[in-house]
């Protein structure tokens, strides 16, 4: 409570006076909120206090009216740090059981909308659980949340999941946590950190699907460094460990198709892409359907079947209209298809759209690909200055992230653009 004394004025006394003016139910909610470390939604407060949601929401609004709680938006409430300290200092005998109920609420999770609502609180909840040695609960909350978060929250959750998993001593939990951590580093464009996590993950004894997932990610990292034959070996080993009709199989087949395509084995690449698209359609995974369709279009363009390639590329763009990541990917691959089929102006429009999407949906690895494709399209439309700018941007991002293949592509594109400018 010492932190509450500032400027010679006893803030603690003023807060306690405000607290005493509350009704008993409001006092109880205020005390229990001290156990919640982040912004609290009405359902979370209801779990904390073991109350129906409408009752909890009414009490939260009462605390807002008493200036003991702030409404941060239409669905969450936040307590100032001084007020939270005061609430914890009141030492409610229910604090321990209330926090256990709260962990059960977050452990149960919800749908994508639920995670979007609770995302701001989740990292703090996991950290508080770790502080109080609720290691198993911390791991479970983080594990379920990791698949739904992006950006800084994703990295924080993944790091907390890894710490919790290590403390539980459960190798399977650590295997999954390292997978989440590799994904978070991947999304941020830190390929060296993603590779380190993936290698650590692969060294752990784990079930076949987990080993397959680690092999798939290792294959992708090899491919991004230009080691395509090593990537193919990883993908094929992964396929021996997966089920015939699951999402992981579909993803591995799409990645395998890409490496085969780069090495010129177009027949096998086409077969892998088509099988990937069939599995994605069967499982109903829209993102994987888009990615595998775009990959099939790219292989078909290289085989000379330009009409089918363009049709599939446009299908991929249309199907991804409300999926930012998949939409950017579809536009990028669609631009590559159109460059192959001799329509550089259309290719430029698609590549430009991909870059625009990625400016708001931060993903540096895909942005590097899109910027390089945009640069190639600019050069083909007789705009070498724009081409040089895009390739420079791609090279800077590729060098920062360690994306070797795209850094090399950017350097080659810059040389062509500079030569065109000189001419």
Look up residue 245 and give its two tokens.
């009709």
The 3-state secondary structure of 165-190 reads HHHHCCHHHHHHHHHHHHHHHHHHCC
SS3 381: coil
Helices (DSSP H) in 34-147: which residue ranges?
Answer: 42-49, 53-65, 81-89, 95-108, 112-118, 122-131, 135-146
Span of 46-60, 205-219, 329-343 with lowest mean pLDDT: 205-219
Computed over every residue of the chain, the mean pLDDT equals 89
Q: Of 52-56, 206-210, 297-301, 395-399, where does mean pLDDT reach its minimum?
A: 206-210
Q: For 9, what's the count of Cα atoms within 13 Å in the CB-facing half-sphere?
A: 4
Query: How buried is residue 123: exposed, middle or buried, by Cβ count under 10 Å (0-12/13-18/19+)?
Result: buried
Q: Is 277 in contact with 296 (CB distance < 8 Å)?
A: yes
Question: Do 325-423 and 109-206 have the same topology in CATH?
Answer: yes
Distance of CA 176 to the CA centre of its chain: 15
| Domain residue ranges in the chain | 1-108, 109-206, 325-423
Place of tokens 């997978």: 179
- Secondary structure E strands in 367-421: none
Task: Report residue 9: phi and psi, to 5°.
Answer: -115, 135
Is pLDDT above 70 for 47? yes
CATH node for 325-423? 1.25.40.10
Contacts of 97 (CB under 8 A, 6+ apart): none
Please state which of the four CATH numbers 3.40.190.10, 1.10.10.10, 3.40.50.300, 3.50.50.60 is assigned to the domain occupying 1-108: 1.10.10.10
pLDDT digits (tens, 9 = 90+) for 201-255: 878 866 777 788 889 988 998 999 899 999 999 999 999 988 777 889 999 999 9
- Which value, in Å, is the radius of gyration of the alpha carbons in the chain? 26
The per-residue pLDDT for range 362-391, each reduced to its tens digit, is: 788 899 999 999 999 999 999 999 999 999
Six-digit token string for 124:
């703090």
SS3 42: helix
Question: Once rounded to an integer, what is the mean pLDDT over residues 96-123?
Answer: 90
**CATH node for 109-206:** 1.25.40
Question: Which range in 87-96, 158-167, 179-188, 386-395 is most confidently predicted, on average pLDDT?
Answer: 386-395
The DSSP result for 202-262, as a single string, is: HHS---HHHHHHHHHHHHHHHHHTT-HHHHHHHHHHHHTTS-TTSHHHHHHHHHHHHHHHH
For β-strands 9-10 and 70-71, DSSP reports them as unpaired
């Amino acid at each position: 409570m010492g932190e509450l004394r500032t400027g010679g004025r006893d803030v603690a006394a003023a807060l306690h006076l405000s607290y005493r003016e509350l009704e008993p139910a409001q006092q109880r909610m205020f005390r229990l909120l001290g156990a919640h470390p982040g912004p609290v939604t009405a359902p979370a407060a209801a779990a904390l206090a073991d109350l129906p949601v409408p009752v909890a929401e009414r009490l939260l609004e009462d605390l807002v009216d008493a200036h003991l709680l702030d409404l941060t938006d239409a669905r969450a409430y936040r307590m100032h740090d001084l007020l939270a300290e005061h609430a914890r200092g009141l030492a409610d005998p229910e604090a321990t059981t209330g926090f256990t109920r709260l962990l059960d609420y977050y452990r149960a999770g919800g749908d994508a909308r639920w995670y979007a609502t609770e995302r701001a609180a989740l990292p703090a909840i996991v950290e508080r659980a770790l502080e109080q040695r609720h290691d198993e609960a911390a791991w479970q909350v983080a594990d379920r949340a990791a698949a739904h978060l992006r950006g800084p929250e994703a990295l924080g959750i993944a790091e907390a999941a890894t710490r919790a998993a290590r403390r539980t001593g459960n190798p399977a939990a650590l295997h999954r946590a390292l997978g989440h951590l590799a994904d978070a580093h991947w999304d941020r464009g830190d390929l060296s950190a993603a590779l380190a996590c993936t290698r650590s993950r692969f060294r752990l004894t784990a079930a076949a699907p987990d080993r397959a997932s680690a092999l798939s990610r290792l294959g992708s990292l090899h491919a991004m460094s230009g080691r395509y034959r090593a990537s193919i070996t990883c993908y094929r080993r992964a396929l021996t460990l997966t089920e015939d009709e699951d999402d992981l199989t579909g993803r591995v087949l799409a990645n395998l198709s890409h490496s085969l395509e780069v090495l010129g084995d177009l027949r096998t690449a086409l077969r892998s892409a088509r099988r990937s698209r069939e599995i994605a359609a069967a499982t109903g995974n829209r993102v994987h359907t888009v990615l595998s369709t775009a990959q099939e279009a790219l292989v078909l363009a290289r085989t000379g079947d330009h009409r089918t390639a363009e049709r599939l590329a446009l299908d991929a763009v249309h199907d991804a209209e409300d999926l930012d990541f998949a939409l950017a990917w579809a536009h990028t691959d669609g631009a590559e298809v159109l460059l192959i089929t001799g329509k550089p102006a259309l290719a430029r429009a698609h590549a430009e759209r991909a870059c625009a999407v990625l400016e708001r949906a931060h993903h540096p690895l895909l942005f590097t690909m899109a910027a390089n494709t945009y640069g190639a399209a600019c050069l083909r439309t007789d705009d070498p200055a724009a081409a040089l700018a895009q390739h420079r941007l791609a090279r800077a991002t590729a060098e920062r992230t360690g994306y070797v293949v795209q850094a090399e592509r950017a350097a080659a594109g810059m040389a062509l653009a500079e030569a065109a400018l000189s001419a």
